[in-house]
Structure 1
Amino acid sequence: MSRAIVHMDLDTFFVSCVRLENPQLNGIPLIVGGGERGVVASCSYEARYFGVRSAMPIRMAMQLCPQAKIVKGDMELFSKKSHEVTQIIEEHSPLVEKASIDEFYLDITGMDKFYGCYKWTNELTQTITKETGLPISFALSVNKTVSKIATGEGKPKGNLEISESMVKPFLNPLSIRKIPMLGEVTFNLLSRLGIRNIEKLAETPAEVLQSMIGKNGLEIWKKANGIDNAPVEPYRERKSLSTEHTYLQDTIDIKKVESLILGMVEKLAYQARKEQWLVSTLVIKIRYANFDTENLQRKIAYTSCDHILSKIALELFNKLYNRRMRIRLVGVSFAGLVRGTYQINMFEDTEEMIALYQAMDKIKNRFGYDAVTRCGGRNITSKAGNIVSNPRSQSVVPNSINPE
């Protein structure tokens, strides 16, 4: 029996949320972003008509569409509406994967025995729009790759069904850019070889692609041929990333404790970005010398930016540490994780800040985490558990980082 995999994607999610709050913005070119030196987080279809795209510098977007209105993103609103949609889908669907803040996969295999898969999905999207006011597109097909590509082709408010027999005819004429995870470098390489549509890519021997691209060559070939056995992974809100540090000698040096916390947060945030997680809950834990243990947490808008998380972590620690006692243990946890690469907390940041994150992560990916870190965390822990200076990296490195 063929699988029935649905991909759902909220149409221009940030723009749609903003328009719900202010209907006067309907029908006009609209950009959601972070000011003149920021980048476009999202834009309306009216703005896209003039060539405006996400991640484009706002100053360039305004040159293309000077009549566009720029609106600052509302982090709390976006998180709230995402949770509303998630709850509706989870209430109705047997198996859900939340791929990002505005994107979902559903496995409804076997539902045709009781209720048509397409009819059921169409009614669910109507329910979402009716209860949240947000437009949503979907596609139903045999796997995640085909359904995701089909959703993009059907936007806005699309509702396509690609049966198993129609997978190849649907994919073949499309540009290879449509294949998920096929980046700009790979696209340019294949284009120089005359491979520009999916049909040509599918006809290229997998061995040839592997020799040109490396280990990803086989995966790209499979996707071009409509092959994708990846399961829909259930969405688990409780999954977390955490780290703790225990001092051999209890300390009351609050500056060093704060420096350690900054380093912990930076390392966890880097891990979250590397593994494509967004964080919605931050937890700080301390254990006093008498073994009393306390923790404090805060719900936040989805992010994986350490400069935002660090500020909140220090606020939580200063609120939590209310005894004049020595500290034995410090811990930091990120919870409420969802898959995603959106840096939606960067509405207030400049192009320089976003470029800095990208550059730092590239250096860390290539040379290791200690290659470059923020100067806010100046110390690392030695094997003896004491705080010592590290002149090479000037970073805080917790004694363990363990995904739960």
Structure 2
Amino acid sequence: MSFQRQIVHIDLDSFFVSVERKFDPSLIGKAVIIGGSADRGVVASCSYEARAFGVHSAMPTRQALQLCPHAILIRGSHGRYGEASREVTEIIHNAVPLYQKTSVDEFYIDYTGMDRFHNAYQHASELRQKIMRDTGLPISFGMASGKTVAKMATNEAKPNGQLLIPHGKEKEFLAPLNINKIPGLGESTSQKLYQYGIEKIGDLQKADIRFLEAILGKAGKFIWERANGIDHSEIIPYSDRKSISTEHTFHTNIADKNAIETILVSMTEELAYKLRKENKVASCLAIKVRYANFETHTQQEKISLTAAEHILIPGVKNLLKKAWNQYRPIRLIGVRLSDLCSGSYQINLFDDNEERIKLYKAMDKINFKFGEKTVCRAAGMEIGTRNFNPFMRG
């Protein structure tokens, strides 16, 4: 028996701001910006009151404060956001059989087939009410036949609302929306389509696929399908992996601290890149040292939620300093990042400046395209070609 797909997309509205307002209700109704310093920092999140002035995430904080001078700037509390995300995840985990967590504040739920037992939309509505009641956080959701339309329905339902797009009504819902509302449709692609008079999704629906492929390449068919509400992508079950680690065994025991530190830097870079690729951040850092006599020691420390080398590498060096014993040769070293949480690199914007964010994005883009370690820090270059066989732990 085949069932009509029932996909729900859930999004916690202005998540970081909402969490801060929970702890400080005086922020409710005010323009709030969460992010780095006013000097060289970047906006991580902002309230709808600030958005009304043109403020948006990843914008330089300096520019945001020029647009909205009366905004309240908050540094942000990593621990609070991770804890709030875990709270919401647990409620969803206990309520539905199949869900996907795509970021610290965003989820997809697959209700397909549940209509035999429940009214899926009613169940989703009750789940939304429970999350708001138990966590005190505002939340929006969209329900449709696929992930893309469900996400777009959520965006139309915000702030703090819900919207059902019935089967067969996808094209009707999408048609009047601007093409830039399609998730993943970048600014350059939008501009290219605008040149041909394609501004609304309804215009895209009427366009010939061959024409779209001629101007957009392979993406043409993909965009046409999304414009017509066609999206068969599956819900990937959420797996709460706790750690990611890598080890390196030396052919001969080694007592050169600089050489060991260089290898640890390279290993840390690789793990940080894998975290960013998997849209995860870590809040615990550890190193493992096995001496020549096979005696093994670990050193670890709690850190702010991050996937950034400039935070992780000094931590690793510090742990090596604590573990170092110049009279004991080392046989094996390892690095482990644990207490993982789904969340994009955005969560690190509190600690970063514009230049650093651009650097990470550029490095990841090149490494993703041409292979890991194509670009890395100088300290890791001499061992960049070695294979450390990183492995994941669930």
Counterpart of 1:173 (choices 168, 173, 176) is 176
Percent of matched pairs sharing the same residue: 48
Q: Which amino acid aligns with 1:101?
A: V
SS in 2 for 1:32: strand
Residue in 2 that maps onto 1:385: none
- The answer as to whether partners of 1:31 and 1:69 remain within 8 angstroms in 2 is yes
Q: Partners in 2 of 1:180 and 1:323 — Cα distance?
A: 54
What root-mean-square deviation, in Å, do the aligned CA atoms of Structure 1 and Structure 2 show?
2.3
Task: Determine the structure 2 residue equivalent to 1:214.
Answer: 217
2:388 aligns with 399
Aligned equivalent of 1:71: 74
Structure 1 residue corresponding to 2:310, chosen from 295, 307, 315: 307
**Aligned-partner Cα distance in 2 for 1:335–1:220:** 37
TM-superposed deviation, 1:54: 1.2
Measure the CA separation in 2 of the matches of 1:175 and 1:144.
18
- The structural deviation recorded for 1:357 is 1.7
Instruction: Kindly provide the CA deviation profile for residues 180-203 of structure 1, in whole angstroms up to 9, marking residues without a partner as x.
Output: 111122112122122222122222
Letter in 1 for 2:357: I
Match of 1:278, SS state, is: strand
Match of 1:199 in 2: 202
- Structure 2 CA distance for partners of 1:308 and 1:107, relative to 1, 3 Å: same
1:268-324 deviation line (CA, Å, top 9, x unaligned): 222332443433444433322223344455554442211122233334444455694
Q: Which residue of 1 aligns with 2:32?
A: 30
**By how many angstroms is 1:334 displaced?**
3.7
Report how far residue 27 of structure 1 moved: 1.2
- The offset of 1:325, in angstroms, is 2.2
Greater alpha carbon shift after TM alignment, 313-322 vs 149-158:
313-322
Aligned length: 390
Describe the shift of the 1:233–1:295 C-alpha distance in structure 2 as closer, same or farther (beyond 3 A): farther
8 A contact 1:33–1:72 mirrored in 2 = yes
Change (3 A) 1:301 1:128: farther
Mapped contact 2:154–2:163 kept (Cα < 8 A)? yes
Q: 1:283 touches 1:334 (CA, 8 Å); kept in 2?
A: yes
C-alpha displacement at 1:206, in angstroms? 2.8
Q: Any idea what SS the aligned residue of 2:65 has?
A: helix
**Runs of 5+ unmatched residues, structure 2:** none
Residue 398 of structure 1: how far off its partner (Å): 4.8
Q: CA deviation at 1:129?
A: 1.2
Q: Distance in 2 between matches of 1:324 and 1:39?
A: 46
Distance of 1:339 and 1:60 partners within structure 2:
29
Larger displacement relative to structure 2 (144-153 or 285-294): 285-294
Deviations 1:105-161 (CA, angstroms, capped at 9, x unpaired) = 111222222221111111111111111111111111111111111001110011111
Mapped partners of 1:204, 1:11: distance in 2: 34
Aligned equivalents of 2:283, 2:175: Cα separation in 1: 39
Cα offset for 1:349? 1.7
Equivalent residue, structure 2, for 1:4: 6
What is the letter of the counterpart of residue 74 of structure 1?
S
Q: Which moved more, 1:117-126 or 1:278-287?
A: 278-287
Q: TM-score, normalised by structure 1?
A: 0.89
Range moving further from structure 2, 257-266 or 273-282? 273-282
Q: Which residue of 2 aligns with 1:128?
A: 131
User: Quick one: structure 1 residues 88 and 324, their matched pair in 2 at CA, closer, same or farther if it must change by over 3 Å?
Assistant: farther
Asked if 2 retains the 8 angstrom alpha-carbon contact of 1:288 and 1:325, the reply is: yes
Match of 1:92 among 85, 92, 95: 95
Aligned mates of 2:146, 2:229 — CA distance in 1: 8
Residue 137 of structure 1: SS of its match in structure 2?
strand
Change (3 A) 1:216 1:276: farther
What does 1:20-59 align with in structure 2 at a 5 Å threshold?
A: 20-36=22-38, 37-59=40-62
Q: 32-41 or 334-343: which moved more?
A: 334-343
Aligned to 2:21: 19
Equivalent residue number for residue 382 of structure 2: 379
Q: Per-residue displacement from partner, 1:27-79 (whole Å, max 9, x unpaired)?
A: 11110011112111111111111111111111111111111111111111111
SS at match of 1:312: helix
Q: Is the 8 A contact 1:262 1:396 kept in 2?
A: no
The 8 Å contact of residues 97 and 106 in structure 1, kept in 2 or not, is answered as yes
* Pairing 1:360–2:349 present: no
Contact 2:29 2:49 in 1 (8 A): yes
Amino acid at match of 1:35: S
2:147 paired residue number: 144
Give the drift of 1:369.
4.3
Amino acid at match of 2:389: S
Q: For the residues of structure 1 that align with 2:321 and 2:45, how far apart are their CA atoms?
A: 36
Paired letter, 1:10? L
1:396: how far off?
A: 7.9
Letter in 2 for 1:7: H
Q: Which residue of 2 aligns with 1:271?
A: 274
Q: 2:122 aligns with which of 113, 119, 126?
A: 119
Q: Is the 1:259–1:396 contact (alpha carbons within 8 Å) kept by the matching residues of 2?
A: no
Residue matched to 1:159: 162
Amino acid at match of 1:349: D
1:286 partnered with 2:289: yes
- Per-residue deviation, residues 69-117 of structure 1 (Å, max 9, x unmatched): 1111111111111111111111111111111000011112222222211
Q: Select between 95-104 and 57-66 the one with higher mean Cα deviation.
A: 57-66
Structure 2 distance, partners of 1:154, 1:4, is 17
